[in-house]
Structure 1
Amino acid sequence: MVYRTARVGLRLTNAQRNRCFGLLRSAGDVWACVLELNAWRRQRHDTPLVAYQALCRELAASGPETFAGLDSVGARSVLRRFSDAWFAAAKRRKAGDLAARFPRRRRALLPVRWYHGTFVLNGRRLRLPSAARGAPFWLRLDREVPYPAEQVRSVTLLADGGRLWIEVTAEVAIVSYPAGTAPEPDRKAGVDLGIIHRYAVAGPDGQALLVSARAIRAEQHLHLADTKGRRRAVARRAPKPGRRGSRRWRKYRRRTRLVEGRHRRRIRQAQHEAARSVVAWAVEQRIGTLAVGDPRGVLALKSGRRHNLRVRNWQVGRSIAILRDKAELAGIAVHLVDERGTSSTCPVCRNRVPKPPGRTMACTSCNATGHRDLLAAANIATRAPAGGGLVQPAVPPAVITHRRAGRHLPGAGRSRRDPVARTDHPV
């Protein structure tokens, strides 16, 4: 069994919308109270109060209706979030990551989670628990939940991009296959992550897959250009520091949040489409193990303003998480391996090859040629994870399957071109 989360929109009246935002603000107040409590304890040189059980005892001692309409279950979900964040930072600092910081920043709105047995889900209607002597709080979803009601384990109320959402988490069984069609753990494929090609997969028997992310990169480029244009247009009307904004400025800020939220949703959907293509191809090839090259070691390198922006928009950690999430549901194991040197090594003769100026890499020792991302993926497939594992010889790709991610993006189609000018094509 694995856990899956789906985000569902809400159809609300003005009163319901105000009540939802009130719950999120109350959750932010719980977070602020915990920060204030630990600040007092630091001044007295006492041990910080971070354990979930100790925080729950403090919450019970505060009495009912302390945080307006937020019930105790929702307040405890905020305490759980704080405790998990604190111990995660402590674990990273103990491992030597001095950049890890403990939670000490206040938040105006904080997501609230309710667990199984505290809410009622009936079709498109959802009833959230309310505080003592509070009126029942029924909400209407804008679509059906994609999971059976008996599998739903929690619901989370959150605000993103100026809109309110409900995230439904359910317990889903791993996909079962007919006899003779299940993925085989001995069949292994290497996955190379990139900006232009989000996933380059080299599998056994010379099979390979290329998932293009040019539409995603174009969406990020165009969104950045639109954002700069909007900022230039309202620069003269911006309020001075320390002054409250006008109605026009508040409308601009509201519109900006909506546009940013829509942009993030489009990119997230395209990332899921790309990962879904990889998992579907792996199931078709009966691949049971994916060795993913981890390129996060290069994220801290300074490579110039423009390239640093591309790397920041890459979101490599999210790409790995989405791929792992979908692979687990399909019964495919995912292992992270070191990818250092895979893009400059020939998978046939294992000699070093200089970086090519284009997408085709040619070895001067054995005259082997191929797509450089796929050759890197073939090298990744030969590497074992840190704890050991299956190692197989490199197989250069012979049959390449092409897929594109982000066909839902505005203008993405057969005629869409990358925004970067090409020398071999008239502009």
Structure 2
Amino acid sequence: MQTVRIYQLKGLDRRTRARLRAAQLEAARVWRYCLERHQVARAERSRWPDRDDLQRETKGGQFALHSQSIQLVCQQFLANVETIKQLRQGNPRHRYPYHPKKYRTVQWPAQAVSRQGKRLILPMGRGRKSFSFHLPDLPEQIGAVSLVWNGGYELHLVVPAASENEVSALADKPVQAAVDLGEIHQAAVTTNTGKGLIVTGRGMRSLKRHANMTLGRLSRLQSRCQKGSKRWRRLQYAKERASGKNKRRVRDLRHKGTRLAVDFCHAQGVQTLYVGDPQGVRNENKGRHHNQRMSQWEYGQDKQYLQEKCQQVGIACFSGSERGTSSRCPRCDWKKKPRGRTWACRRCGFVGHRDIVGSMNMHPLAFGSRISYPSSLTYRRPGPLRDRRQNKELLPSGTS
């Protein structure tokens, strides 16, 4: 099992930034060469270039990159061509690669990467100076490395993750759990052993709301300026900086929240986890404010993070429909449209947390058995949020 570590390259001097930019330009030039060869072969109805052809034609030092970095660009281009070729069998409107990129991510395979103490060495080919970066907590084993531009230069390192025996089949397990993903509460987990967990997402909602207000204020100021002027460019830079900071903070909380859910399942001995798929919530038009919150809800990333983290600890994770789980009483199956955070049944008198009810109702769909309301319910925050106005940390979460 492998995972990815992201290192932000801050404090780079002008010469290093220029070299990084030149490397991305060279990677894009390799992509454009592969693109031109493919387009010419298609226009002449001749044999399309394969991996051996492209790697042979890009040899000889004509590109200022490491030879294996050039090979990775060629392989990824051919992989895109093969994917589109398969998609066109069902829909011929799919287009083969056509966009001539100006910049492109530079990649180094594991065998090309080396380290000297706490410094990461990335070669640039014979006769050219290698990149050398001092990275904190550099792992002993390093896989492939990617140079990515995300509002600033970042290094994405593939490193091995400590994993237990992976589960290969989704068989009936003695301890099972279901997760109800949400926008107010990031995850609500229930097990068939009477345990429950709620991971709040209100911190992420607050960050997104603050970012929306900031971007709106800057956009109003920018609308009064002439496009391309000095003040317009300053405001545009401020918007990009605020947006990038918000994305990084939300991504951090999203990782921490899914980690809490997986650690809870691992501590309870869960061996099979069912993740509800909220597909379709964005199709309902309920006003611009609600639609904005739904469009900014990254439930797809939550599903991906849960699956990756479950694989690291040996939990079988699969996803399925959650239709009707939040509107049905888990005790008497009476249906109603829930309002607020508390689910109260008028027929049998059941009262419980709305998201926990949704997670409970997933057990019959996934495992074919009902469960009772959790006897122990834990409420957790994804991370230690800090109140900037009072300059103190919020109170820790507890158990009810």
TM-score by length of 1: 0.81
Q: Map Cα deviations across residues 9-66 of structure 1 (whole Å, 9 max, x no partner).
A: 23532211111111112222222333333333443455765xxxx1452242144333
**Per-residue deviation at 1:102?**
4.9
Question: How far apart in 2 are the matches of 1:97 and 1:218?
Answer: 42
Query: Partner residue of 1:257?
Result: 240
Q: How does 1:71-90 map to 2 (within 5 A)?
A: 71-89=66-84
The aligned counterpart of 1:167 is 156
Alpha-carbon distance between aligned partners in 1 of 2:272 and 2:111, rounded to the nearest angstrom: 37
* 1:305-344 superposed matches below 5 A: 305-344=288-327
The CA distance in 2 between the partners of 1:234 and 1:72, in whole Å, is 45
* 1:358-402 per-position Cα deviation (integer Å, ceiling 9, x unaligned): 111223333222112111101112223xxxxx5432322332110
| CA apart distance, 1:322 | 0.9
C-alpha deviation, 1:77, in angstroms: 2.0
In structure 1, distance between residues paired with 2:325 and 2:91: 27
Match of 1:367, SS state, is coil
> How much does 1:414 deviate?
4.1
How large is the Cα RMSD of the aligned pairs? 2.7
Q: 2:276 aligns with which of 276, 284, 293?
A: 293
- Taking a change above 3 Å as real, the CA distance of residues 305 and 89 of structure 1, as seen in their structure-2 partners, is farther
1:225-282 Cα distance to aligned partner (Å, 9 max, x none): 101111221223332xxxxx34554444444333322211111100011011101211
- Find the aligned partners of 1:197 and 1:279 in 2 and give their Cα distance: 15
Deviation per CA, 1:328-358: give whole Å up to 9, x if none. 1122111112111111222223x24111221
Give the secondary-structure state (helix, strand or coil) at the position aligned to 2:243: helix
TM-score normalised by structure 2 residue count: 0.86
Matches within 5 A, 1:10-409: 10=9, 11-45=11-45, 54-67=50-63, 69-89=64-84, 102-135=96-129, 137-145=130-138, 147-148=139-140, 151-161=141-151, 163-175=152-164, 185-239=173-227, 245-349=228-332, 351-384=333-366, 390-408=367-385
Residue aligned with 2:329, SS: coil
Unaligned runs of 5+ in 1: 177-183, 240-244, 385-389, 416-427
2:158 counterpart SS class: strand
Q: Structure 1, residues 189-226: CA drift from partner, whole Å, max 9, x if none?
A: 11011100110111123211111101101111110110
Q: Is the 8 A contact 2:211 2:242 kept in 1?
A: no
Structure 2's unaligned 5+ residue stretches are 166-171, 396-400
Percent identical residues = 28
Cα gap change, 1:377 to 1:168, in 2 (>3 Å): same
CA deviations 1:52-105 (Å, max 9, x no partner) are xx14522421443333x22221122223333344444555565x6889765433
Amino acid across the alignment from 2:6: R
Amino acid at match of 2:355: D
Question: Distance in 1 between the 2:56 and 2:229 partners?
Answer: 42
Change beyond 3 A, Cα 1:362–1:92:
farther
Cα gap change, 1:308/1:393 in structure 2, threshold over 3 Å: closer, same or farther? same
For 2:329 and 2:184, the matched residues in 1 are separated by: 21
Deviating more after overlay: 105-114 vs 189-198 = 105-114
Tell me if the contact between 2:327 and 2:338 (Cα under 8 Å) persists in the aligned partners.
no
Instruction: Give the aligned partner of residue 2 of structure 2.
Output: 3
